[in-house]
Structure 1
């Protein structure tokens, strides 16, 4: 038994005898004033120590009863009832690994129900003892009431409450304490109507403490009120002693006094817990909002705006300020259409097939998964092309309460693409290659490191590293994470393209079974096909198809071709991959019944950065690099890629490797 247990037992013993001394000689309820202390001592002790502690507490209670002049049978019966109530309260509230929680009104309801049960058992024990001794029944009711207030007032000090901050200043604290002390002094010492006013004034004083003070401070004030009321009333002072005691006896005095004190507890404690819970919740919300705000403000490379359903801007982050040239204070409250020229709104409306109004275009954009190129006007009047994503924030009823707009300035990429197209038309191939090489080098070194860092922080946020997020916040982070992965994939494609263009590039050739390479690529793409509702099959021969080739590079080619076929095939469509031997060598064909490619665009399919008109019209994401990479890999193997496609009927891509590369 530790020092804390010894100290608790001594406090219990002193409380029991002090309460007995404070009671009139003919009363038998004073020894129960410390039952709350006994229950608290068990609650904070390991269950292994309960037998010893319960025995000591029972002995103390029994001796206290005997010291009051009761007979042996009364002392045994009342002690048994008291200890049974204490054990039930301790058992129902005890939790392993720490004190039980008292953090919300729900926890208080658990405490209250448990206290009523424990007090009822104590009252039954007292009733059994009184029945044999011929004592009147109001004394047993007083015992139960005494136990109940003891549990409600003392047990919370052994529970875990939320540590808050007292809002009241020193002056307000002095006023509240003065009101409480004055009300208690009047209520528990004055016998006339003024004492009744003191009883009424106690309630707002305790509610004041619950609203403005820490929970433990409120509990302390309730304890002081309870002890003061009990001691003074037992001494014959105050409104209860005068109004009740003289008419019906001291037992009824105690019954009505405890009822009043229970009302004080019910006014102060649940209110204090609710205020502390709201304060904690508000603090958590503020911290979460601050975290999200820091993320939004830290995303200086991305413009983020939030608008109302009517298009009024409510948030404009630092990235938006940098990209569009406005300060946040200049645009908040204004219409988002301030960044759009009329012809751009008409172009977007025509693309989505809606009316050229802000609302219709916004709803169409919010239904589009892929980012959309939109021309926005800077403060200086210069148009800049941005990749825009618009996500609705939905009410519980499903209607949007706001829109979150993210925009990335891609003007230089668009200009580079247009420059490349113009250079192709002008046959300036060497200059184009140099521009492409410079572009690849710049992107690979400037983008990879920050994108990797962004994805790391996004993963940390999604895993709850900075606190739990709401579903709306997780959805926003998911969109940012998806765009980050898309950018990282672009960088990887550019690096691969750059390495394949190196004259010193050497393939890692080894003997492979082309069937296994095709099946591996099939397994990579299959989940995507399943998610889009596309039928996805593969046909391989029973005999091995052996080659001396770079397995990783050929797998990259097949993943690209299969992925493109799935991407450009609508739901319920079909994609089939076949492996075999043809007239010219080993073949792998990927056929689909998807959108198809216009005939005039097919000669340019394997050019860098080229994207077909069908991809643009369907808003299908892509960089225009995948087929170029596939072509170079196959060319390094001495093979070729053939295309057979027709708009509306689908496409077939065939990879043909020469027989001289085949084994056997």
Structure 2
């Protein structure tokens, strides 16, 4: 408008009120600046306020356009064609019906302007084509021209709204497609997490809680729950839930006869409207909870229903085939997770019983073996009379084998005890740096006799820890004993202990025979010894490193090994701070 006002000043300044036109430009600038600041401000406008502001701005734009038309020649002003541009702008903002209303209002405004300028002649006008004070116009041609212009304007409105309608439909399609893609991506992520949980986690409660939360979020539901069928009964036990109140969850017993439990593996129970479905056992409680639709998918494992996954919708909902398919896949994953967790629990219980049995057997064997060793030692020392040389040789071999048997029993007891949980045991506070130093002193004489130097890097501060009495003494002893045993004369053994606010790390490094790469994963197995170890020392139970690993895992730590044949081995243990 400023540019047009300048053009009028250049070519028609003897006819146009240039000052008035520039004043109009200033007013248009000011109110548009006001609306721009209003919409860009941090203040959150309500929907009604925003719509009112937009309509007010459109009204002011129409009024300004009519005034420009009047001051630049009336209905014969070239600015009349700007109404078509404004119709296109309206079509971008408003619905078709509102655009037709605005077009009709504009035509009414133009009609009023014609009447005031050329019929009643109460508003003077300077025409660009007819000069100042143009003569009266013929009524019939003027009406025909107005009708034709109205037709053109309505045609422009029709075209603009039709084109914008198609654009809006395309936009809606793109948004719908984007939403479907986002849902598909979220579903894939949920299925991926469920699949990962099948093989990486046996914490059933945590995994199920995560799955019901994700499934409710994906389905845009009020809540979700997993119920498991109690063995030997028809009652369904709540295993995991999200989004449901305690009052609703404890509304009463939930059995296979509550109307929501699938009877066959392929069944899916869908309640699209809880108000009209007569299968529900607790319809009133569902309404009070704000539940309006429910879908129940069976958890099937090996052809047998072990429970169900239930999604509780907050609105009446018709479940699509895609949603049902997704929930079936998710329910299948949940069933596998439950079965894996149960199998792992049974395996842990079996392992616990085996360890307990081995511990009891080892403990029962230790006493008679020690007694036999004492008697043999007494005979060797001559307490039962002189022993002939031949018999003494046999007696010495018996005592040596008896010592090996006693060491094996001790190792079995240590192994069994290290694999037991620390729960239920009384923990005592220790200084790991002190335990390390004591273990080094205990083996220092043996190392010196074999020509092996031990270097110990002390931590700057005492490293406090809580243990089941004797655990870390066994850990340090086994690691140091192995390092000294398999390091040749002139070699070194280095021990370093460090701690941070989160972890404690222990490193034991030797310059011994090393470990072949193919045996690195096996050295922590019970009774396993590498061929090189057997060549160096024929005796040994192969339980030392298994005991060490059991103790490390007992305190939720990690142990790793780095080794190169002929150059030595490094064991690194990391423990979390308690």
Same fold judged by TM-score > 0.5? no
More helix by share: 1
* Structure with bigger gyration radius: 2
> With structure 2 as the length reference, what TM-score do the two structures score?
0.36
